[in-house]
Amino acid sequence: MSLDDYATALLLAGMKCPKCRDGILQTTPLTPPDEGDAMGCNRCSFPTPQSEPSNSKRITQALIDNAFACLDGHGRLTYVLEGCKFIQGVLRDTHGVYLSLNECRRFWEWRSEQWDASFLVVTRHEGAREEILEYFNEWLDELDIWEWADECAS
């Protein structure tokens, strides 16, 4: 069923707008030289999709991640993004914790410094999960945060 047919069916059934849920679908006769009726919601732009103004600024997770990476002096996360996502997944699946992409970058930079590297490549290879988990525990040991475990549990 096309969007026009759907709008007509809803209008004939006397239903509310499926987009905004507040408006009522209505018809308005068109004036000559146009013919027929215009159908739509009396509150939103249904059935026409509402477009954002071209000059609007959209806040996205990628924008925020890159902003904090730049503020930390590391540039955009683009070159380490897939590695950070892999680290996120390993820690979430194993420990049920969520690290932001920047927290993953910070952790793996600590790991990379042990090899005098700016950022070791993180790939999905045999043993990669174990390496991440081993060094995550080591990183937490170095941060000496274990005494906080009881405080945060309550």
Predicted confidence (pLDDT) per residue in 124-151, tens digit: 777 889 989 999 999 989 888 888 777 6
Question: What's the average model confidence in pLDDT over 81-85?
Answer: 87
Predicted confidence (pLDDT) per residue in 19-65, tens digit: 777 777 777 777 777 777 777 777 787 777 655 555 678 888 888 88
Q: How many domains does the chain have?
A: 2
Question: What's the average model confidence in pLDDT over 86-114?
Answer: 89
Percent pLDDT > 90 in the chain is 11
DSSP readout, 22-74? SSBEEEEEPPTTS-SEEEEESSS-TTSPPPPPTTPPPP-HHHHHHHHHHHTTS
Token digits for 73?
């002096």
Domain around 9: 3-41
Alpha-carbon distance of 15 to 45, in angstroms, equals 16
For residue 12, pLDDT beyond 60: no
Alpha-carbon distance of 17 to 7, in angstroms, equals 9
Bridge partner residues of 40 (DSSP): 26
Residues 124-138 as b/e (b if ≥16 CB within 10 A, e otherwise) read eeeeebeebeebbee
Q: Confirm whether 139 is domain-assigned.
A: yes
Bridge partner residues of 16 (DSSP): 24
Q: Which residue has the higher pLDDT, 87 or 75?
A: 87
- Shared domain for 36 and 65, answered yes or no, is no
How is residue 116 annotated by DSSP?
T
Handedness of CA 13, 14, 15, 20 (dihedral sign): positive
- Shared domain for 30 and 105, answered yes or no, is no
Q: Confirm whether 132 is domain-assigned.
A: yes
Average pLDDT for the chain: 78
Q: Confirm whether 119 is domain-assigned.
A: yes
- Shared domain for 25 and 98, answered yes or no, is no
- Shared domain for 37 and 98, answered yes or no, is no
User: What is this structure's pTM?
Assistant: 0.55
- Shared domain for 27 and 80, answered yes or no, is no
- Shared domain for 66 and 8, answered yes or no, is no
